[in-house]
Amino acid sequence: MSDTFNAIVFDNVDDVKKGRLTELSAADLTDEKVHVDVSYSTVNYKDGLALSEHSQVPIIQKPPLIGGIDLAGTVTESSDSRWQAGDRVLVNGYGLSERHHGGYAQKAHINPDFLIRVPDAISLEQAMAIGTAGYTAMLCVLAIEDHGVKPEDGKVLVTGASGGVGTVAISLLSSLGYDVVASSGRVAENGDFLKGLGASELIERDALSRDSKPVEKETWAAVVDCVGGKTLATAIAQTQYAGIVTMCGLTGGSTIQTTVIPFILRAVRLAGIDSVMAPLDLRQRAWDRLAEILDLNKLAEIYSIEPLAKVPELTDKILQGKVKGRIVIDVNA
Ligand code: NDP
pLDDT, tens digit, 9 for 90 and up, residues 46-93: 999 998 877 777 889 888 999 999 999 999 999 999 999 999 999 999
CA distances from 166 to 100, 179, 227, 262, 300 (A): 27, 14, 10, 24, 15
Separation of alpha carbons 179 and 200, rounded Å: 6
Query: Can you spell out the DSSP letters for 246-301?
Result: EE---TT-S-----SHHHHHS--EEEE--SSS--HHHHHHHHHHHHHH--HHHHHH
Determine which residue's CA is closest to atom 10 belonging to ligand 1: 160
pLDDT level of residue 265 (50, 70, 90 thresholds): very high
**DSSP designation for 153:** G
34 pLDDT band, cuts 50/70/90, is very high
328 lines ligand 1 (CB under 6 A): no
Cβ of 318 closer than 6 Å to ligand 1, yes or no, is yes
3-state secondary structure of 36: strand
Does the beta carbon of 134 sit less than 6 angstroms from any atom of ligand 1? no
Q: Write down all domains in the chain, each with its CATH number in brackets.
A: 4-118+302-330 (3.90.180.10), 132-272 (3.40.50.720)
- pLDDT value, residue 153: 98
Q: Where are the beta strands (DSSP E) in the chain?
A: 4-13, 16-25, 34-43, 65-66, 70-78, 88-92, 107-110, 116-117, 155-159, 179-184, 199-204, 220-225, 239-247, 269-272, 303-307, 326-330
In the prediction, which pLDDT does 2 show? 64
Atom of ligand 1 nearest to the CA of 252: 19
Which residue CA neighbors atom 23 of ligand 1 most closely? Answer: 45
Please check the confidence at residue 14 and state whether its pLDDT lies above 80. no
Considering only 11-25, 165-179, 215-229, which range has the smallest mean pLDDT? 11-25
| Contact between residue 99 and residue 61 where contact means Cβ atoms under 8 Å apart | yes
- Of the chain, the percentage scoring pLDDT greater than 70 comes to 99
What pLDDT does 68 receive? 97
> Looking at residue 138, what is its pLDDT?
98
Q: Is 251 in the pocket of ligand 1 (CB under 6 A)?
A: yes
Q: Which of 50, 2, 121, 26 is nearest to 312 (CA)?
A: 50
From 227, 273, 306, the mutation candidate for ligand 1 (largest count of ligand atoms within 8 A of CB) is 227
Arithmetic mean of pLDDT over the chain? 96
Task: Tell me, in angstroms, the distance from the centre of ligand 1 to residue 46's CA.
Answer: 9
Give the mean pLDDT of 2-26. 90
| Sign of CA pseudo-dihedral 327, 315, 320, 137 | positive
Mean pLDDT of 260-272: 98
Ligand 1: does its nearest atom lie under 6 Å from the Cβ of 115?
no
pLDDT at 54: 74
Q: Which residues, in sequence order, are bridge partners of residue 223?
A: 157, 245
Q: Which residues contact 132 (CB under 8 A, 6 or more apart)?
A: 42, 44, 46, 69, 70, 92, 93, 275
Sequence-distant (≥ 6) Cβ neighbours of residue 148 within 8 angstroms: none
Q: Alpha-carbon distance 71 to 215, whole Å?
A: 42
Q: DSSP character for 319?
A: H
Give the tens place of pLDDT for each residue, 278-299. 999 999 999 999 999 999 999 9
Crossing angle of helices 124-146 and 280-293, in 10° steps, is: 110
Closest protein CA for atom 27 of ligand 1: 45
d(Cα 182, Cα 245) in Å, to the nearest integer? 15
- Residue 18 reports pLDDT greater than 80: yes
pLDDT at residue number 111: 98
Q: CA 119, CA 265: separation in Å to the nearest integer?
A: 43
Q: What is the pLDDT of residue 13?
A: 79
Instruction: From 251, 270, 315, 316, give the residue whose CB has the most ligand 1 atoms within 8 Å, as the site to mutate.
Output: 251
The pLDDT tens digits for 172-214 are: 999 999 999 999 999 999 999 999 999 999 999 999 999 999 9
CA of 112 to the centre of ligand 1 (A): 29
Do residues 43 and 308 touch, judged by C-beta distance below 8 A? no
Average pLDDT over residues 246-260: 96
How far apart CA 164 and CA 161 sit, in angstroms, is 8
How deeply is 86 buried, as exposed, middle or buried, from its count of CB atoms within 10 A (0-12, 13-18, 19+)? exposed
**Could you tell which of 165, 230, 277 is best to mutate to test the pocket of ligand 1, judged by most ligand atoms within 8 Å of the CB?**
165
Choice among 49-53, 147-151, 155-159, 226-230 with the minimum mean pLDDT: 49-53
